[in-house]
C-alpha cells in the first residue's frame, strides 16, 4: 500500500511547476532529512536524485525524445523484443471493464507463452476454449483489486492471509467471467427471441433453466464452466509469476546502471538485498517519460545487479556520485534488507512441515477411524471391520448334514435357526431369543463348521471374523472394528456373526491385568459387550463365538443377554468319528466297503478331532495318488493314520547296531506288558523305525472304545506297561539309557493325579489339589507335600515291581519279540499272535469286530478318551531330551 501511495505522490510532483517544487518542502514522511537546505541544493536534488536530469542543451534533448529505449537496454524492448508491447492496441484498452486493469506487456507475453505451451497436445475443441479465455483476459484485463494484491505480493508481503485473498480474488474473477459469459449468451438469445416469437416463448423457460432445446444455465454451469477453470488457471499462473519474481526483474551491470539510470538521475533508491544483490528502484514516471517502452516504467519491474561485497559497492557508489557532483546530503538513499523468499522459506521448512502434517493427518485419520467407525474409517481403513461376509445364497453352502457327530450341539443351536426362520413364533409368546452362544472345545472339533451350518440352514448372511483381527497396535482400532462389524451386521439383518478365537479379546479382565493391563483389548471387549447389549430384542442378529479356552473368558461375556448359551463341543466319540468319516469319505474314490471302512477307521482313530479325520482322509488320498493307485485302499488309510499319529518316518536317521538293539528290547518290553497285563490296551503295532520328533521306537495300542472311567488296577497296569521299556533295558543290558524319560514323565503325572485328584492314596485321603502353575504357594501343608511325594513314589514303585515281575518271568518272550523286531522292524498284532500265541484275555467290542476278533478280551474300560493309540515312550539316543508324543496328557486335566 505504501508503494502505491508513494507512486501517486510522485505522480503529482511530476506535474508541478519546478518553482513550486523548489520553494515547497517535501512531505516529511518521504524525506526524513529535515535539515533546512538552500534552494540551490534542493534543485540539485531534483536534478540528480528524484527527477530526470534536464537536458543541458537542445541537442541532447533531441537524443532523448520519448519512445526511445534506454541506451544499452534496447535489446530488451526493441521491436519484436521480449518486452515490447506492440500487440496491446489503444482501442483494446478503451474497452476495459470497470474495475479491471490491463495486463502489462510482459504479463501478456507470458500468457502467450503459457497458452502456446498448454495448447500442445490438447484436443482442438479444448484449445479453442483456451484461446477464448486467453482473448478474454487480454481484452478485459484483471480486476484492479487483484492487481493491487499482486503489487502487494510484489513488495514482498506474501503472508498466508494475502495468499488466501489472492486465491479468493482469482476464483471470484473466474466466476464473474463465467457469469458475464452466461449473461452475454442469455442476452444474445433474448435478442434473437425478440425477432422470433417461438424463440421468445422459450427464453422464458430459459430463466428457470428448463429449456430442453437451448442451453440451460444454472449455478452448476458456472461452477463447472470450462472457461472459468482455464481463466482460473491462467490467473493463478500470473500470480505464480509474481510470487516467483525472476521474470519481473532483469539483471544489469554496474555500467548499464550508471549510463542508463544513475547519470540521468533516474534512480530513486538502491536496496542492498542479502549483501549480495542491489535492487534498483527508479523514478517510474521519469523513466516512463524518457523510455516509455522500458519495463521499468511499470510498477512490477525492477533492475538489479550483483555485488561482491557491500563495502566495494558503497565505495563505487560514492565515487560515482562524487564524479556526478551530487552533494552528500542529496545522495541516493541506500537501504539494506534481508529477504527470504516465500518459496525458499516453505522449502526450507518443507520436510518439517511435511512430517508434522503427516503425523497430524495420520492421527486424525486414526482418530476418525477409531472414533467414528463407520465405513472406511481409520488409517488406511484400519477402523474397518475385517469380517468376511458370506452370502447365504452363494457362499454358505454348509448344512447340518455336513456336520457329523455332535447331535447335542446341533439340537442346542437349532433353536437359533428356528428363531431366524420364524421369529414371530417366539415373539408372540413374549420370549426373548438368546443373543448368542459360545461354542467351546478343542481345536478342529467343528465349531466354525457348526456356526456356518447354522447360517446355511437359516439362509441368512454370515459374518466371520477372528478375535485376533480386532487386535491392532493402535489404540481404539479394535473397538472401532467391533462397531463397524455390528453396524454392517445390522444393515443385513437377519444375520449371524461368528467371532472365532474370541479368547484373543474376551479374556477375563482381572486375569489379563495381572502383570500389566491391556487397555486396548479391554476397550475392544467392552465394545463387544456394549454392542450386544445394544441389540433390540427384535433385532435378528445372532452372535456365535468359538474358543478353545472357555475357562479364561470374562464372566461379563457369559451372562444372560449376551452369550446366553454355552455349547461345549468335545472330540467325537467312536460313533461321531464314524459319522465324520462318512462325511469325508463321500469325496473319496474307494472300493472298500464304506460301512466296514468307516467303522475300522473310527476304531483306529480315537481322540481324533473332526479336522484330524478330514486331514487323514485327504492324506490317504494323497498317499494313494503318490503310489499311482486307482482307488484309495485300507492300507493307504492306515498309513495316513500312522503318519498323523507318529509323524513322518525318518528313513534318514541311521542308528548304530547297539542303539537299534536297545530300542528293540525297549519296545519289546512295552509289547510284552501290553500283551500279558489284563487291563492294558490291546497292542496293534510295534515298530523301531524312527518317526516324528525324536521317537526312535513306536508302539501302537488300541483302546476298545471310548473310556470315561479308569480303575486303580487299570491305571497300575498302564503305568507298569509304560515303565516296561526301562525295565527291559535293565534286565537285558549292563546299563540303561536316557530313552525312558518321557515314560517317567507320564508315570509321574499319572501317579500324582491318583494321589492329589482321584483320591487313590489312603495316606493323603480324599482331597483334590489344583495344580495351577501360576500359584505361588502350594495349597497344602509341608506335611501333606511330604505325604504326596511318598505316596506318588509308592505307587510308581508298585507299578515298577509289577512290571519287573512280569518281564523277569517273560524274559525269553522279550528276546523273541526283540529279535523279530530287529529283523522286520515292524510287527503287527498277527506277528505277536504268531510269536506269543493268543493273548490270554478276551478282546471285546469294536476291536474284535474290526481287527479280526482275534485275541482275548481286554480289560474293562481300557481306553482313555482322547488318548487312544499310544505311540509308546520313545527310546531316545543318549543326550537327547526330546520326548515322544504325550500319551496320558488328558489324565491331568
Ligand X SMILES: Nc1ncnc2c1ncn2[C@@H]1O[C@H](COP(=O)(O)OP(=O)(O)OP(=O)(O)O)[C@@H](O)[C@H]1O
Which residues are known catalytic residues?
667
Nearer to ligand X, 544 or 827 (CB): 544
Strands 142-143 and 100-101, sheet pairing: antiparallel
- In degrees and rounded to multiples of 5, residue 546 shows phi and psi of -115, 145
Restricting to residues 475-514, name those near ligand X by CB under 6 A: 500
Q: What is the DSSP string of 163-197?
A: HHHHHHHHHHHHHHHHHHHHHHHHHHHHHHHHH-H
Interface with ligand X, residue 444, by CB under 6 A: yes
Q: Single out the residue of 726, 700, 752, 893 nearest to residue 804, CA to CA.
A: 726
Residues in the chain, total: 893
Q: Of 467-475, 557-565, 607-615, 718-726, which part binds ligand X (CB under 6 A)? A: 607-615
Residue environment code for 136-145, b if the CB has 16+ CB neighbours within 10 A, otherwise e: bbbebbbbeb
Strands 563-568 and 436-440, sheet pairing: parallel
Grid cell listed for 376: 472406511
- In degrees and rounded to multiples of 5, residue 279 shows phi and psi of -95, 135
In the bound complex, what is the minimum distance in angstroms from residue 442's beta carbon to ligand X? 7
In the bound complex, what is the minimum distance in angstroms from residue 547's beta carbon to ligand X? 8
Q: For every residue of 385-450, which 3-state class applies, written as one string?
A: CCCEEECCCCCCCCCHHHCCCCHHHHHHHHHHHHHHHCHHHHHCCCCCCCCEEEEECCCCCCHHHH
In the bound complex, what is the minimum distance in angstroms from residue 471's beta carbon to ligand X? 16
Interface with ligand X, residue 406, by CB under 6 A: yes
Q: Which residue from 104, 260, 321, 448 is in contact with ligand X, where contact means CB under 6 A? A: 448
Q: Which residue from 523, 614, 672, 688 is in contact with ligand X, where contact means CB under 6 A? A: 614
Interface with ligand X, residue 403, by CB under 6 A: yes
Interface with ligand X, residue 601, by CB under 6 A: no
In the bound complex, what is the minimum distance in angstroms from residue 370's beta carbon to ligand X? 28
> Is 541 in contact with 493 (CB distance < 8 Å)?
yes
Count the residues of the shown chain that bind ligand X, applying the rule CB under 6 A: 19
In the bound complex, what is the minimum distance in angstroms from residue 443's beta carbon to ligand X? 4
Interface with ligand X, residue 719, by CB under 6 A: no
- In degrees and rounded to multiples of 5, residue 649 shows phi and psi of -65, 140
CA distance 827 to 686: 5
Q: Which residue from 583, 668, 696, 699 is in contact with ligand X, where contact means CB under 6 A? A: 583
Interface with ligand X, residue 417, by CB under 6 A: no
Interface with ligand X, residue 846, by CB under 6 A: no
> Cell numbers 481404539 correspond to what residue?
476
CA distance 71 to 255: 11
Q: Which residue from 506, 546, 599, 674 is in contact with ligand X, where contact means CB under 6 A? A: 546
In the bound complex, what is the minimum distance in angstroms from residue 662's beta carbon to ligand X? 39
Grid cell listed for 761: 492314596
Nearer to ligand X, 611 or 629 (CB): 611
- In degrees and rounded to multiples of 5, residue 591 shows phi and psi of -105, 0
Nearer to ligand X, 321 or 609 (CB): 609
> Cell numbers 508481503 correspond to what residue?
157
Q: Which residue from 235, 300, 445, 512 is in contact with ligand X, where contact means CB under 6 A? A: 445
Grid cell listed for 260: 542508463
Q: Of 281-289, 606-614, 701-709, 757-765, which part binds ligand X (CB under 6 A)? A: 606-614
Q: Of 320-328, 397-405, 472-480, 809-817, which part binds ligand X (CB under 6 A)? A: 397-405
Q: Of 264-272, 587-595, 610-618, 681-689, which part binds ligand X (CB under 6 A)? A: 610-618
In the bound complex, what is the minimum distance in angstroms from residue 444's beta carbon to ligand X? 5
> Is 521 in contact with 507 (CB distance < 8 Å)?
yes
In the bound complex, what is the minimum distance in angstroms from residue 773's beta carbon to ligand X? 23
Q: Which residue from 105, 193, 295, 446 is in contact with ligand X, where contact means CB under 6 A? A: 446
Q: Of 83-91, 272-280, 447-455, 643-651, which part binds ligand X (CB under 6 A)? A: 447-455
Nearer to ligand X, 373 or 607 (CB): 607
Nearer to ligand X, 181 or 501 (CB): 501
In the bound complex, what is the minimum distance in angstroms from residue 707's beta carbon to ligand X? 21
Nearer to ligand X, 500 or 820 (CB): 500
Nearer to ligand X, 562 or 571 (CB): 571
How far apart, in Å, are the Cα atoms of 425 and each of 411, 415, 419, 429, 495?
Answer: 18, 12, 8, 7, 18
Nearer to ligand X, 176 or 447 (CB): 447
Q: Of 83-91, 399-407, 689-697, 772-780, which part binds ligand X (CB under 6 A)? A: 399-407
Q: Which residue from 505, 525, 550, 580 is in contact with ligand X, where contact means CB under 6 A? A: 580
Interface with ligand X, residue 796, by CB under 6 A: no
Strands 267-273 and 277-282, sheet pairing: antiparallel
Interface with ligand X, residue 447, by CB under 6 A: yes
In the bound complex, what is the minimum distance in angstroms from residue 487's beta carbon to ligand X? 25
In the bound complex, what is the minimum distance in angstroms from residue 578's beta carbon to ligand X? 11
Q: Which residues are within 8 A (CB) of 235 and not within 5 positions of it... i.e. 6 or more apart?
A: 137, 142, 146, 170, 173, 174
Interface with ligand X, residue 607, by CB under 6 A: no
Q: Of 400-408, 482-490, 625-633, 774-782, which part binds ligand X (CB under 6 A)? A: 400-408
Interface with ligand X, residue 731, by CB under 6 A: no
Q: Single out the residue of 414, 388, 389, 387 nearest to residue 565, CA to CA.
A: 414
Q: Element (H or E) spanning 279, and its range?
A: strand 277-282
Nearer to ligand X, 377 or 441 (CB): 441
Q: Of 404-412, 620-628, 662-670, 825-833, which part binds ligand X (CB under 6 A)? A: 404-412
Nearer to ligand X, 447 or 685 (CB): 447
Interface with ligand X, residue 409, by CB under 6 A: no
> Is 87 in contact with 108 (CB distance < 8 Å)?
yes
Nearer to ligand X, 501 or 743 (CB): 501
DSSP 695: B
- How many beta carbons lie within 10 A of that of residue 95, not counting itself? 10
Q: Of 53-61, 266-274, 446-454, 480-488, which part binds ligand X (CB under 6 A)? A: 446-454
CA distance 693 to 687: 15
Nearer to ligand X, 446 or 694 (CB): 446
Interface with ligand X, residue 748, by CB under 6 A: no
Q: What is the DSSP string of 158-171?
A: --HHHHHHHHHHHH
Interface with ligand X, residue 456, by CB under 6 A: no
- In degrees and rounded to multiples of 5, residue 541 shows phi and psi of -115, 120
Q: Which residues are within 8 A (CB) of 101 and not within 5 positions of it... i.e. 6 or more apart?
A: 141, 142, 143, 144, 147
CA distance 375 to 526: 21
Q: For every residue of 509-553, which 3-state class applies, written as one string?
A: HHHHCCCCCCHHHHHHHHHHHHHHHHCCCCCCEEEEEEECCHHHE
- In degrees and rounded to multiples of 5, residue 538 shows phi and psi of -90, -10
Interface with ligand X, residue 574, by CB under 6 A: no
In the bound complex, what is the minimum distance in angstroms from residue 571's beta carbon to ligand X? 10
Interface with ligand X, residue 605, by CB under 6 A: no
> Cell numbers 531316545 correspond to what residue?
876
Residue whose CB is nearest to ligand X in the complex, by number: 610
In the bound complex, what is the minimum distance in angstroms from residue 395's beta carbon to ligand X? 14
Q: Which residue from 71, 376, 443, 759 is in contact with ligand X, where contact means CB under 6 A? A: 443
Nearer to ligand X, 230 or 617 (CB): 617
Interface with ligand X, residue 404, by CB under 6 A: yes
Q: Give the binding site for ligand X (CB under 6 A).
A: 403-406, 443-449, 500, 546, 548, 580, 583, 610-611, 614
Amino acid at each position: 500500500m505504501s508503494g502505491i501511495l508513494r507512486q501517486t505522490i510522485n505522480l503529482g510532483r511530476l506535474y508541478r511547476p519546478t518553482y513550486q517544487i523548489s520553494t515547497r518542502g517535501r512531505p516529511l514522511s518521504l524525506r526524513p532529512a529535515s535539515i533546512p537546505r538552500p534552494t540551490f541544493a534542493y534543485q540539485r536534488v531534483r536534478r540528480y536524485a528524484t527527477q530526470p536530469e534536464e537536458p543541458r542543451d537542445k541537442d541532447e534533448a533531441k537524443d532523448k525524445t520519448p519512445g526511445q529505449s534506454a541506451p544499452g537496454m534496447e535489446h530488451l524492448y526493441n521491436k519484436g523484443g521480449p518486452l515490447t508491447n506492440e500487440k496491446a492496441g489503444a482501442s483494446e484498452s478503451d474497452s476495459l471493464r470497470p474495475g479491471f486493469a490491463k495486463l502489462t506487456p510482459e504479463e501478456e507475453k507470458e500468457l502467450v507463452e503459457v497458452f502456446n505451451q498448454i495448447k500442445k497436445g490438447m484436443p482442438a475443441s479444448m484449445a479453442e476454449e483456451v484461446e477464448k479465455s486467453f482473448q478474454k483476459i487480454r481484452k478485459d484485463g484483471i480486476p484492479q483489486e487483484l492487481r493491487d494484491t499482486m503489487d502487494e505480493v510484489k513488495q514482498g508481503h506474501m503472508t498466508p492471509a494475502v495468499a488466501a485473498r489472492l486465491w479468493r480474488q482469482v476464483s471470484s474473477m473466474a466466476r464473474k467471467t463465467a457469469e458475464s459469459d452466461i449473461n452475454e449468451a442469455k442476452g444474445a438469445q433474448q435478442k434473437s427471441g425478440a425477432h422470433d416469437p417461438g424463440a421468445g416463448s422459450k427464453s422464458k423457460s430459459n430463466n428457470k433453466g428448463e429449456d430442453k432445446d437451448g442451453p440451460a444455465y444454472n449455478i452448476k454451469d458456472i461452477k463447472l464452466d470450462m472457461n472459468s477453470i482455464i481463466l482460473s488457471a491462467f490467473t493463478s499462473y500470473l500470480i505464480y509469476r509474481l510470487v516467483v519474481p525472476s521474470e519481473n526483474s532483469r539483471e544489469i551491470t554496474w555500467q548499464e546502471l550508471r549510463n542508463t539510470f544513475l547519470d540521468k538521475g533516474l534512480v530513486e533508491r538502491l536496496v542492498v538485498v542479502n549483501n549480495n544483490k542491489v535492487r534498483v528502484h527508479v523514478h517510474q514516471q521519469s523513466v516512463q517519460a524518457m523510455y516509455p517502452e522500458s519495463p521499468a516504467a511499470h510498477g512490477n519491474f525492477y533492475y538489479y545487479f550483483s555485488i561482491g561485497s557491500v563495502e566495494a559497492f558503497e565505495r563505487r557508489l560514492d565515487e560515482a556520485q562524487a564524479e556526478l557532483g551530487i552533494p552528500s546530503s542529496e545522495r541516493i538513499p541506500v537501504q539494506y534488507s534481508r529477504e527470504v523468499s516465500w518459496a525458499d522459506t516453505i522449502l526450507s521448512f518443507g520436510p518439517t512441515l511435511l512430517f508434522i502434517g503427516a503425523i497430524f493427518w495420520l492421527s486424525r485419520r486414526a482418530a476418525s477411524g477409531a472414533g467414528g467407525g463407520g465405513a472406511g474409517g481409520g488409517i488406511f481403513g484400519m477402523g474397518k471391520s475385517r469380517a468376511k461376509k458370506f452370502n447365504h445364497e452363494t457362499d454358505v453352502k454348509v448344512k447340518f448334514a455336513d456336520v457329523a457327530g455332535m447331535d447335542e450341539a446341533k439340537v442346542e443351536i437349532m433353536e437359533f435357526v428356528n428363531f431366524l426362520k420364524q421369529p414371530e413364533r417366539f415373539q408372540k409368546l413374549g420370549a426373548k431369543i438368546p443373543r448368542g452362544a459360545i461354542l467351546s472345545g478343542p481345536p478342529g472339533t467343528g465349531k466354525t463348521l457348526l456356526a456356518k451350518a447354522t447360517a446355511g440352514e437359516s439362509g441368512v448372511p454370515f459374518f466371520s471374523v477372528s478375535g485376533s483381527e480386532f487386535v491392532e497396535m493402535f489404540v481404539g482400532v479394535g473397538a472401532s472394528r467391533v462397531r463397524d462389524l455390528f453396524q454392517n451386521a445390522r444393515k443385513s439383518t437377519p444375520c449371524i456373526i461368528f467371532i472365532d478365537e474370541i479368547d484373543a479379546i474376551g479374556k477375563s479382565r482381572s486375569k489379563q491385568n495381572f502383570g500389566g493391563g491391556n487397555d486396548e483389548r479391554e476397550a475392544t471387549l467392552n465394545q463387544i459387550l456394549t454392542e450386544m447389549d445394544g441389540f433390540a430384542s427384535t433385532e435378528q442378529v445372532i452372535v456365535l463365538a468359538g474358543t478353545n479356552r472357555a475357562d479364561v473368558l470374562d464372566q461379563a461375556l457369559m451372562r444372560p443377554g449376551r452369550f446366553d448359551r454355552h455349547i461345549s463341543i468335545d472330540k467325537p466319540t467312536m460313533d461321531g468319528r464314524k459319522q465324520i468319516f462318512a462325511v469325508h469319505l463321500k469325496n473319496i474314490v474307494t472300493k472298500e466297503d464304506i460301512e466296514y471302512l468307516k467303522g475300522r477307521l473310527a476304531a483306529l482313530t480315537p481322540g481324533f478331532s473332526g479336522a484330524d479325520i478330514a486331514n487323514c482322509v485327504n492324506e490317504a488320498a494323497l498317499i494313494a495318488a503318490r503310489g499311482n493307485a486307482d482307488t484309495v485302499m485300507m492300507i493307504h488309510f492306515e498309513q495316513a493314520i500312522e503318519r498323523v499319529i507318529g509323524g513322518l518316518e525318518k528313513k534318514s536317521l541311521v542308528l548304530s547296531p547297539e542303539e537299534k538293539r536297545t530300542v528293540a528290547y525297549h519296545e519289546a518290553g512295552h509289547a510284552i506288558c501290553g500283551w500279558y497285563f489284563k487291563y492294558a490296551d490291546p497292542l496293534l503295532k510295534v515298530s523301531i523305525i524312527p518317526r516324528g520328533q525324536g521317537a526312535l521306537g513306536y508302539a501302537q495300542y488300541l483302546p476298545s472304545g471310548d473310556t470315561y472311567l479308569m480303575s486303580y488296577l487299570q491305571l497300575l497296569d498302564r503305568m507298569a506297561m509304560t515303565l516296561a521299556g526301562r525295565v527291559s533295558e535293565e534286565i537285558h543290558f549292563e546299563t540303561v539309557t536316557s530313552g525312558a524319560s518321557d515314560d517317567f514323565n507320564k508315570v509321574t503325572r499319572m501317579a500324582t493325579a491318583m494321589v492329589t485328584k482321584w483320591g487313590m492314596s489312603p495316606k493323603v485321603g480324599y482331597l483334590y489339589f489344583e495344580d495351577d502353575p501360576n500359584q505361588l504357594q502350594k495349597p497344602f501343608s509341608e506335611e501333606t507335600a511330604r505325604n504326596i511325594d511318598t505316596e506318588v513314589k509308592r505307587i510308581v514303585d508298585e507299578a515298577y515291581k509289577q512290571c519287573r515281575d512280569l518281564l523277569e518271568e517273560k524274559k525269553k518272550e522279550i528276546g523273541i519279540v526283540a529279535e523279530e523286531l530287529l529283523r522286520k522292524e515292524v510287527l503287527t498284532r498277527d506277528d505277536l499272535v504268531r510269536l506269543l500265541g493268543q493273548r490270554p484275555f478276551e478282546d471285546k467290542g469294536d476291536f474284535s469286530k474290526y481287527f479280526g476278533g482275534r485275541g482275548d478280551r481286554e480289560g474293562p474300560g481300557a481306553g482313555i478318551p482322547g488318548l487312544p493309540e499310544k505311540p509308546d515312550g520313545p527310546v531316545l539316543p543318549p543326550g537327547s531330551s526330546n520326548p515322544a508324543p504325550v500319551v496320558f496328557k488328558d489324565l491331568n486335566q
